[in-house]
């Protein structure tokens, strides 16, 4: 990696901004409980693909942006996205070797842990009653992972992002 110039970094930030937009886009009421974790999915792809460019600092900044966008406790989503990034970076070498279905299973556990931490933080602040349906977005996100990964990988290769 010595001497490699970073190219097309705007693609990373544009995709993460798209994730922020998708996370606040309106959905029908019955689909709200299973809203995918768009920002976490896109961030996870870039952490796996380019761990030297996208890491904990990116996750923290993106989480603060998500906190401001949602109007939640400042640092709550930043903590969650940083936790997801830490876990993905810890499993980085193994995750890259797994087939897509195993990646989805591991990411379902990672996203589930993040959702449980968010449920705990919400219970501490008193903003949401504890319920196990709060983990449903982790399942939906794991099911979307193969499509998100395939799309972003094609974009990554086509635009030669490094």
Establish if 6 belongs to a structural domain: no
Establish if 25 belongs to a structural domain: no
Q: Whole-angstrom Cα distance, residue 11 to residue 156?
A: 8
Q: Give the torsion sign (CA, 139, 113, 9, 64).
A: positive
Contact call for residues 47 and 90 (beta carbons, < 8 A): no
How much is the pTM? 0.92
- Please give the average per-residue pLDDT across 113-130, as a whole number: 84
3 pLDDT more than 80: no
**How many residues appear in the chain?**
162
Domain count, the chain: 1
pLDDT digits (tens, 9 = 90+) for 45-89: 999 999 999 999 999 999 999 999 998 889 999 999 999 999 999
13 pLDDT more than 70: yes
Domain that holds residue 116: 12-20+33-158
Confidence grade of residue 4 (pLDDT, cut at 50, 70, 90): low
Q: What does the mean pLDDT of the chain come to? A: 91
What DSSP character marks residue 4? P
Q: Whole-angstrom Cα distance, residue 44 to residue 81?
A: 9
Q: Give the torsion sign (CA, 130, 75, 141, 97).
A: negative
Residue with tokens 């974009």: 155
Instruction: Please give the C-alpha separations between residue 147 and each of 2, 41, 142, in angstroms, as whole numbers.
Output: 32, 10, 10
Establish if 28 belongs to a structural domain: no
């Amino acid at each position: 990696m010595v001497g490699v110039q970073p190219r097309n970094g705007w693609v990373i930030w544009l995709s993460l901004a798209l994730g922020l937009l998708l996370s606040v886009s309106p959905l029908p009421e019955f689909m709200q409980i299973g809203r995918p974790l768009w920002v976490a999915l896109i961030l996870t792809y870039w952490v796996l693909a380019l761990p030297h460019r996208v890491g904990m600092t990116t996750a923290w900044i993106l989480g603060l942006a998500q906190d401001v966008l949602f109007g939640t406790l400042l640092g709550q989503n930043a903590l969650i996205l940083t936790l997801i990034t830490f876990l993905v970076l810890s499993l980085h070498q193994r995750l890259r070797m797994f087939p897509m279905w195993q990646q989805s299973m591991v990411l379902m556990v990672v996203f589930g842990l993040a959702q449980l931490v968010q449920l705990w933080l919400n219970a501490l602040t008193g903003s949401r009653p504890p319920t196990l349906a709060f983990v449903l977005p982790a399942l939906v996100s794991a099911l979307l992972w193969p499509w998100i990964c395939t799309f972003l990988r094609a974009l990554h290769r086509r635009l030669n992002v490094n």
